[in-house]
Amino acid sequence: MSFLAGNARLTAARLTSVLVACVVICALVAFLTPLVGVVTPGGGLELMSPAAIWGGDIDATVYWQVRLPRSLAALLCGAALAGAGCAFQAVLRNPLAEPFTLGVSSGASLFAVAAIRVGLASPLGTAGVGAAAVLGAVVAVAVVWRLARVGDALPPATLILAGVTVSMFCSAASMAIQFTSSFADVSRMLRWMMGGLEWTTYATVARAAPAVAAGALVLVWQGRALNAMAAGPEAAASVGVDPGRTQSLSFAAASLLVGASIAVAGPVGFVGLIVPHALRALVGPDHRVLLPASMLMGAALVGACDTLARMLGQWPVGIITALGGGPFFLVLLVRGKRHADLWRG
């Protein structure tokens, strides 16, 4: 394990080892968790055979048509949220930076709630609410961006303040809409805001995957610039980073990731906050390994949490990530206080 630890310069061998380990964990979660709950003599593995797939076997159909797309959607959301959280923390140099504190999730929720209120859910179904949520995320990002920007710079403190303010405003507006809505609509709104993956199909995955891939590519490409940004925009500029460009690109890519995730699963909390923190303690702060590792392990985490949610009787996955993530994060925080392991904001 010490070989993986981030207390030495990132080498090709360490990068490869960490990423291979994360990919294996991710793949195991993707293909094995859909088998959880399947009762067959072979533990479910026989569902992978061509005979089962093409033979109309009911368990195989459930595995391939219902659970695997749901598992893949969970993985996409986890990767997107963890990647976005990691990027937000890097450019803002702030441990509280994640989609929720920057107003992105609240903006998405407000638009989703408004869409349900005006009856958009009936003609367009969940896709309509999802589209409204993405629009909300984009609007919130644009407003926070505009409020926080000072000249060419994006001061982290101003951005966090603007994000928290927009977040609180959107939350209050959401509550106002809920307060004046019918009981049935309020129920739908609350259900959406809890986040869930039970209606996902391969089409959902196909819609979200390009956005997640594009966002991930932009962020990973900027790994070295994000490293230098750890010392602040001025110090980063002194070694050749364009801080304004790095902040803008990272912010846009991270928002794209959050939007894609929200469109699929609604708001899922805590993933963007805890995964990069935990991984930073394990693999070190170099974003060339931290970003991809966070995305892969975020994917595995949401995949596992969604399985647990499914086993508990189709609970919303957002409840599981927050209930499990909160105590886990507190353990990290207490350990960090004792060993001064966590980075200081």
Q: Is the Cβ of residue 122 or residue 234 nearer to other proteins in the bound state?
A: 234
* Pair 57, 44: CB distance under 8 Å: no
Residues in region 287-306 near other proteins by CB under 8 A = 288
Q: Which of residues 1-30 bind other proteins (CB under 8 A)?
A: 7-12, 15
The residue from 128, 223, 324, 326 that contacts other proteins (CB under 8 A) is 223
Which range of residues in 35-43, 126-134, 158-166, 279-287 is near other proteins by CB under 8 A?
A: 279-287
Tell me, what amino acid is at 11?
T
Size of the site for other proteins (CB under 8 A): 36
Name the residue nearer to other proteins (CB basis): 206 or 217.
217
336 binds other proteins (CB under 8 A): no
What whole-number distance in Å separates Cα of residue 333 and Cα of residue 321? 17
- Nearest approach, Cβ of residue 97 and other proteins (Å): 11
| Burial class of residue 282 in the structure, from the number of CB atoms within 10 Å of its CB (0-12 exposed, 13-18 middle, 19+ buried) | middle
Q: Smallest distance from the beta carbon of 2 to other proteins, in angstroms?
A: 13
Q: How far is the CB of 326 from other proteins (least distance, A)?
A: 23
Ramachandran quadrant class, 149 (left: phi over 0; alpha: psi -120 to 50; beta: rest): beta
| 206 is a contact residue toward other proteins (CB under 8 A) | no
Q: Does 93 bind other proteins (CB under 8 A)?
A: yes
CB 111 to other proteins: min, Å: 32
The pair of structure tokens assigned to 340 is 């001064």
Return the number of the residue (9 or 146) whose C-beta is nearest other proteins.
9
Task: Give the closest residue to 116 by CA, choosing from 141, 136, 88, 146.
Answer: 136
Name which of 229, 153, 196 is nearest 315 in CA terms.
196
Which of 115-123, 134-142, 240-248, 293-301 is the region at the interface with other proteins (rule: CB under 8 A)?
Answer: 240-248
Report the chain's C-alpha Rg in angstroms: 20
Q: CA 40, CA 43: separation in Å to the nearest integer?
A: 5
239 binds other proteins (CB under 8 A): yes
What H or E segment, with its residue span, contains residue 21?
helix 12-32
Q: Residue 102 phi/psi, 5° resolution?
A: -100, 5
DSSP state of 96: T
Q: Is residue 237 a contact residue for other proteins (CB under 8 A)?
A: yes
User: CA 311 to CA 299: how far, in whole Å?
Assistant: 18
C-beta of 94: minimal distance to other proteins in Å?
8
Q: Which residues bind other proteins (CB under 8 A)?
A: 7-12, 15, 93, 220-225, 227-228, 230-232, 234-235, 237-242, 280, 284-286, 288, 341, 343-345
